[in-house]
Copies of this chain bind each other. A is one copy, B any other.
Amino acid sequence: MSDALKPGDTIGILGSGQLGRMIALAAARLGLRTHIYCPESGPAFDVCAQHTLAAYDDEKALAAFAENVQVVSYEFENVPANTAAFLEARKAVRPGPRALAITQDRFSEKSFLNDLGIPTAPFAAIDCVEDLEQAVAKLGRPSVLKTRRFGYDGKGQTIIREGDDLEQAFTSLGSGACILEGFVSFAREISVIGARGLDGSFAAFDVCENEHANHILSRTIVPAHAAPKTQSVAIDMAGKIAAALDYVGVITVELFLVEDAGSERIVVNEIAPRVHNSGHWTLDGAVTSQFEQHVRAICGWPLGSPARHGAIEMHNLIGSQADDWAALLGQAGVALHLYGKHEAREGRKMGHWTRVLPE
């Protein structure tokens, strides 16, 4: 296992949120130390051996961080390209900067997917109102206008319906680089969480079915309502994407499942180069959690078994929903996870709970 870490080594993680926290907890279980780097204090700071509170362009702090760790990973896809390049010159960054570059830009991402022969919604790059007029004429209404960069949980997007003013829509997103996506009339949203090892091995958890409320994930169930063939196609797509990116770590592929005249087809909605909310059930419902799987992959260790323990239901606790913690603690069979955030703001992910039932 060349390039592999040893127990006692330190994983550097960019980002101090709940995903970084859960990666740090998984690393600790395997005897690894973690060093969290983030411009803002967050819940991951409470469970790591060391942390750095500094900006992502603070090269002195980044250099000291790189010096102190054996590998660098991250909990979010919007790591600035310069930060990734600076660190990559000093230590292995896993997943690599190419995965970041492609997934940070919706146009690059969809182009990359189509080049691989993987279907997406039809799309067009939008740099001005004229581009938008032409694209809407081609893709029709409703369609979805999104910023190319920095969108998440429904932020940075607007639906263009019959009668909507195009200039106003473009201006509402800041008049910057956008993408127009044709509307996909999907029956369900599903996701594949897979991992690719340093040796090129690939392992995926079973396909997840996801429900959203106010653009935020509210519930994941596994198995998903999807034909076995659809599920294997989705997993094959994730493996193909990971291989094309020479990816190392956990990767998430979000897909739309479309029902057409009794048959199913899937199109990729987006890729997240990281562990994912729809995979939190793996902490209680799989032999290896997505967090341990990510740690194994970025350490150059063998991947663990993604086998599932039973029928899964995972619910997010958003904002004040986390006030139910005491009742949830008292329910037999409910595994509660709270993220240690100080303030339960509206729309903020405070925790989740999972139930695993015999199948």
Footprint of B on A, CB under 8 Å? 1, 7-8, 21, 24-25, 28-33, 45-49, 287, 296, 301-302, 304-305, 309, 322, 325-326, 329-330, 332-333, 335-342, 351
Contacts and interface: CB of A to CB of B under 8 A. Distances in A.
A330 B305 contact: no
Q: Chain B CB within 10 Å — which of A301, A322, A340 has the most?
A: A340
A7 B340 contact: yes
A1 B326 contact: yes
A125 to B, nearest CB: 43
A329 B49 contact: no
A329 B301 contact: yes
Q: Chain B CB within 10 Å — which of A28, A30, A48 has the most?
A: A28
A59 B149 CA distance: 55
A21 B31 contact: no
14 contacts: A1-B326, A7-B322, A25-B28, A28-B46, A28-B47, A28-B340, A29-B338, A30-B336, A31-B351, A33-B340, A46-B48, A47-B48, A287-B332, A301-B326
A189 to B, nearest CB: 27
A29 B25 contact: yes
Nearest to A24: B47
Given A29-B338, A301-B329, 6 more contacts: A25-B28, A28-B46, A31-B325, A31-B339, A31-B351, A287-B332
B338 A7 contact: yes
A1 B326 CA distance: 9
A336 B30 CA distance: 7
Contacts of A32: 340
Nearest to A50: B46
A333 B325 CA distance: 32
Contacts of A25: 25, 28-29, 47
B333 A287 contact: yes
A338 B30 contact: yes
Contacts of A304: 329
Contact of A28 (B7, B21, B33, B305): B21
A78 to B, nearest CB: 25
Contacts of A333: 287, 305
Nearest to A10: B46
B287 A305 contact: no
A43 to B, nearest CB: 8
A200 to B, nearest CB: 16
Contacts of A296: 329
Nearest to A338: B31
A51 to B, nearest CB: 10
B325 A7 contact: yes
A322 B30 CA distance: 11
